[in-house]
Homo-oligomer: A and B are copies of this chain.
Amino acid sequence: MHDFTFYNPTRIEFGKGKETHIGTYVKEFNVESVLVLYGSERIKQDGLFDRVTASLAAQGIRYEALGGVVSNPVISLVREAVKVVKENNLKGIVAVGGGSVADSAKAVAAGATYEGDVWDFFIGKATVSEAIPVFTVMTLAATGSEMNPYGVVTNEETQQKYNLGAPSLYPKVSVINPELMATVTPDYLAYSAVDIFSHCLDLYFTAKLFPEFTAALIENILATVMRTTDVLMKNPGDYDARAEFAWASTMALNGNTFVGVAGNSFDTHMIEHAMGGLYNVPHGAGLAVVLPAWMTAIKEQMPERFERFAQKLFGASGADAGIEKLTAWFSAIGAPVTFAEAGLSSDAVDPIAENAFGIAKLWGLDQLFPQQRIAEILKLAVK
């Protein structure tokens, strides 16, 4: 068991109607004005925007609102939001949406106390220290952003999908109300399931040291995701399945799966970030294409782990059986598993590999992943 630090101060308020208390939660932190950041205008039609802002108003919290955050969120909107925060002297942010909105909110929170360009934090030109407090009301469970200090944003000009992170970016309070997730479309439910899988498998198949307890925790998360996704595809209104799916998603990237683990990298995310940055493929869709190819490419490195995966998740034996069954499950829930299914041509292989290599350098993975190696992995997904 490798040495570790575990620290996660985010408070989770989980359950029905919790978003109607967001004003109280914000007030507890003595935050008297916020930016309400969101994605599509749908939240104004379904009443969520009104419930959130009414709760803020009831506590006397002044707010400005800004929508328009998109899947694969962009730095231009983050810059716009930073401007709104600064111009209105806002002291906090309430993110209402999925991982894209939460991730953008973290970037805005960091940018709010910084004089330079917020993109500096993503390219290592500046380090986040201070940030204004972030609160979230989640409408999609996938990225785990509600209980971690990370954010991923795309720079549209440079086509770089990069990340930032700092302890000050842990949300103070995150509301997870599974009812708000009941209208997620089947394709985005599938992408979310794949995203959770990739958070877990990036660790599971790369870590050299892996305590049994942590490995079993990851298997529990994955089994929960498979079980609840299958239920939700048939019955989107199943509250308990929606709730367990949401919690599995949070647990997959809130620090628990890293306990005692060492020697891991974050391969599929590195490659998918390139794909998303260049071609705006939905994150989970890109990951569904990359994961089976990557597993095939690395399976010889950790035969025991692959055997265990096949057994624990599918009651099967052998690395190939595990990969096949996972790929089949991705297909069954409607996630693309080839370049063609994701709407990409084989011409995209080299640009993605080149872009991913840029991320590999930033993450210190360039020795492990020369550009040619990334291209070889991608080619396994061109069918």
Contacts and interface: CB of A to CB of B under 8 A. Distances in A.
Interface of A: 1-9, 11-16, 18, 178, 211-213, 216-217, 220-221, 223-224, 227, 239-240, 243-244, 247-248, 251, 256, 259-260
11 contacts: A1-B240, A1-B247, A2-B15, A5-B13, A6-B14, A7-B11, A7-B12, A9-B9, A211-B240, A211-B244, A216-B223
A222 to B, nearest CB: 11
Contacts of A2: 15
A4 B174 CA distance: 12
A259 to B, nearest CB: 6
Nearest to A250: B6
A13 B6 CA distance: 7
A240 B1 CA distance: 5
A3 B246 CA distance: 13
A26 to B, nearest CB: 16
Residue among A6, A178, A244, A259 facing the most chain B CB atoms (10 A cut-off): A6
B5 A14 contact: yes
Contact of A248 (B5, B12, B213): B213
A332 B22 CA distance: 52
Given A213-B244, A248-B213, A12 B16 contact: no
Contact of A220 (B8, B15, B220, B224): B220
Closest 7 CB pairs of A and B: A3-B15, A1-B243, A7-B11, A6-B12, A9-B9, A216-B220, A213-B224
Nearest to A241: B1
A4 B15 contact: yes
Contacts of A240: 1, 211
B1 A244 contact: yes
Contacts of A16: 3
Contact of A14 (B3, B12, B239): B3
A212 to B, nearest CB: 7
Contacts of A14: 3-6, 259-260
Contacts of A251: 213
A240 B259 CA distance: 13
